[in-house]
Amino acid sequence: MDLLNTLVDKGLRRELPSRDEALAVLATSDEDLLDVVAAAGKVRRHWFGRRVKLNYLVNLKSGLCPEDCSYCSQRLGAETGILKYTWLKPDEASKAAAAGLAGGAKRVCLVASGRGPTDRDVDRVSDTIKTIKEQNEGVEVCACLGLLSDGQAERLRGAGADAYNHNLNTSEATYGDITKTHTYADRVDTVQKAHAAGLSACSGLISGMGETDEDLVDVVFALRELDADSVPVNFLIPFEGTPLAKEWNLTPQRCLRILAMVRFVCPDIEVRIAGGRELHLRTLQPLALHLANSIFLGDYLTSEGQAGKADLEMIADAGFEVETTDQVTLPEHRRGGGCGSVCGSQDKADETPADTAPAEAAQPAPQADAPAAPGPRTDLVTVRRRGAGTDVAPNA
């Protein structure tokens, strides 16, 4: 397919595809899906080999958020039955992080619900970062605390944070349909603050919220323009009790096409399979490793994920290897932030075998029912009841 050959060539040169090319990836057929995965896989292997970076989430403060993000189980007024607790102490957070690190994670992501941290909150998180770093040599720490005020990113960097996560989530054009209590511009501002402070910028998206292909392309191009070092691709977890509880718009094939599009637009950037992979990729999760070079290990913030042991087995069975602390994730030209001036500019017919049996012996074939489209897998949405904020051992 000429499109895929063009996209591979551009990906190997770090050249940005056109929007039409990115849209064409999302429009490919299921019959062409393996070709799409193979093509994007060439780009992934060129920049990241067969390494998979493991990241581990620690929810420092759960629920009680004043924001109204429609996708979020921690939103204002949500009746989702999630764990609710205030700040973990540094030793508690470090203990939770240690479980993920023991499972092979090299980055710990410290997350707290809320609009954004107070200066006292930044002090708390700074103490937690220092404790984790003192107790775990070589660990990377990423903070995700919401909207940042002036000077807070610098303070987190001074405490030892390596990265800051703040997702754009969806396109600027549709952001107001998802959240009313802050703006898309607020989110962009926080990513820019983190970048300016010397933190590695981590910013991604949520797919499956009813967005169009154009919305997906717009947000991924915006992330490329922001020069994020890592792009988490979330697949909506439709929690009962949130406005998007009935949005089950994704298939495993659709998820793979989204990941492939992100890889072509962000060829040399860490692409992470984030929340919802178990719900929507399901048995095709191993194929997604040919597109993304990073995943979350174990559970998420408020929902349970695949068992950590199963994650490690999946990686090994698919022929990949876990990235170690002495391996650097990003290609050399991206290390230290920034990508330099060369970062880019802008059907088959069914083949049915002939029936060779004698005509008189032929029997009418039974009429098979058409396979039913898979319905919402609400049984796969499980509220986290272990790990941080509980007395139960975490999943890692």
191 and 232 in contact (C-beta within 8 Å)?
Answer: no
Counting the structural domains of the chain, the total is 1
Q: Which of 14, 44, 51, 69 is catalytic?
A: 69
Q: Which of 272, 277, 334, 384 is catalytic?
A: 272
Q: Which of 72, 144, 266, 343 is catalytic?
A: 72
The tokens of 52 are what? 């998979």
CATH number of the domain bearing residue 205 = 3.20.20.70
142 given a catalytic annotation: yes
Q: What is the pLDDT of residue 349?
A: 32
107 and 55 in contact (C-beta within 8 Å)?
Answer: yes
Q: Is residue 376 part of a domain?
A: no
For 322, list phi and psi in degrees, rounded to 5. -75, 130
Q: Is residue 371 part of a domain?
A: no
Per-residue pLDDT of the chain (396 residues; tens, 9 = 90+): 799 999 999 999 999 999 999 999 999 999 999 999 999 999 999 999 999 999 999 999 999 899 999 999 999 888 888 999 999 999 999 999 999 999 999 999 999 999 999 999 999 999 999 999 999 989 999 999 999 999 999 999 999 999 999 999 999 999 999 999 999 999 999 999 999 999 999 999 999 999 999 999 999 999 999 999 999 999 999 999 999 999 999 999 999 999 999 999 999 999 999 999 999 999 999 999 999 999 999 999 989 999 999 999 999 999 999 999 999 999 999 986 443 333 333 333 333 333 333 333 333 334 444 445 567 888 888 889 888 999 898 888
Q: What is the pLDDT of residue 382?
A: 87
DSSP state string for 9-34 = HHHHTTPPPPHHHHHHHHT--GGGHH
| Rounded Cα distance, 232 and 82, in Å | 23
Q: Which of 107, 187, 202, 255 is catalytic?
A: 202
Q: Is residue 368 part of a domain?
A: no
**DSSP letter, residue 302:** S
Q: Is residue 279 part of a domain?
A: yes
69 given a catalytic annotation: yes
Q: Which of 142, 144, 266, 343 is catalytic?
A: 142
Residues spanned by the domain of 123: 2-331
302 and 62 in contact (C-beta within 8 Å)?
Answer: yes
Q: Is residue 352 part of a domain?
A: no
Q: Is residue 342 part of a domain?
A: no
What pairing do the DSSP bridges indicate for beta strands 107-112 and 321-322?
Answer: unpaired
Q: Which of 51, 65, 144, 254 is catalytic?
A: 65
Q: What is the pLDDT of residue 374?
A: 61
| Rounded Cα distance, 156 and 127, in Å | 10
249 and 240 in contact (C-beta within 8 Å)?
Answer: no
Q: Is residue 186 part of a domain?
A: yes
255 given a catalytic annotation: no
Q: Is residue 347 part of a domain?
A: no
> What pTM was computed for the model?
0.89
DSSP state string for 373-393 = PP---GGG--B--SSTTSSSP
| Rounded Cα distance, 227 and 203, in Å | 9
272 given a catalytic annotation: yes
**Residue among 57, 141, 71 nearest 107 (CA):** 141
